[in-house]
Amino acid sequence: MTIEVSGQVGPQLVADGTSQPFRQGRSAEMVVQELHGRFYEQNYRNVVFSTGMTALTSIANATFTSATTGATATPIVGVWNPVTSTVNLSILQAILGLTTTAATSTGGGPFVWMVATSQTALTLGITPFNRKSLTATGSQAKGFGGTALTGLNGALSVMCGSALNGGTAGFSQVGTAVGFSPFLPTASVENFDGCLIIPPGGLLALMATTTPVAHSAVSSLVWEEIPL
């Protein structure tokens, strides 16, 4: 038995719940594409949020490193999903921008992602930014970026290395100190695209592996909140 499948040539604008023929091109081919940007649909549904250090912030302290694993740790960027949350945090992307602030500087070494679970009592944090409404509202999570993990139960542990990088190799340089151009990229992006989930009670934090000297950063972490 032959079943005929028909389509409609050209773009369509339809409401949710509407049944329409599949889209065809001018050569009668079935059009299959990633419509809009790859995170557009999630963002349109009002479930994409971000956090981080939006002002240039010095990270020249051991609290920004993997050597500090307790409540005094200050993630370069991170997010906590409260244990009472009704969503998973699906991590989409992270951004790190670094600059040197003195002619003599030392980099932060490779960066790592650190985690903790069953966290119920964190008392600080940043209200995340809604990527659709452009306001700090709607998220069930708390962000961290230069903010201490006050109330942390237990200790952070290293989960994996990060693709984020930047800063100097660590030797004296001659030139203008503020904003001195480093030899490594000043900004980098790590795309997770949902391959990392932070469940209720989970905490994710980006940390340096050595104490930076004369380095400041901006950072961003983007995620989608998906109902359990």
pLDDT tens column, 212-222: 888 999 999 99
Q: Compute the distance between CA of residue 142 and CA of residue 52 in angstroms, rounded to an integer.
A: 11
Rounded-to-integer distance, Cα 75 and Cα 135, Å = 23
Backbone angles phi, psi at 65, to 5 degrees: -115, 165
Q: How does strand 111-116 pair with strand 203-208? A: antiparallel
- Examine the pLDDT at 170 and tell me if it is beyond 70: no
pLDDT at position 178: 53
Give residue 29's pLDDT: 81
**Confidence band (pLDDT; 50, 70, 90) for 15?**
confident
DSSP state of 62: G
pLDDT of residue 33: 67
Local confidence band at 175 (pLDDT 50, 70, 90 cut-offs): low
Domain ranges of the chain: 49-227
In tens, the pLDDT along 101-113 reads: 887 778 888 999 9
Contacts of 128 (CB under 8 A, 6+ apart): 49, 50, 51, 79, 136, 139, 141, 142, 143
The pTM assigned to this predicted structure is 0.83
Work out the mean pLDDT of the chain and round it to a whole number: 89
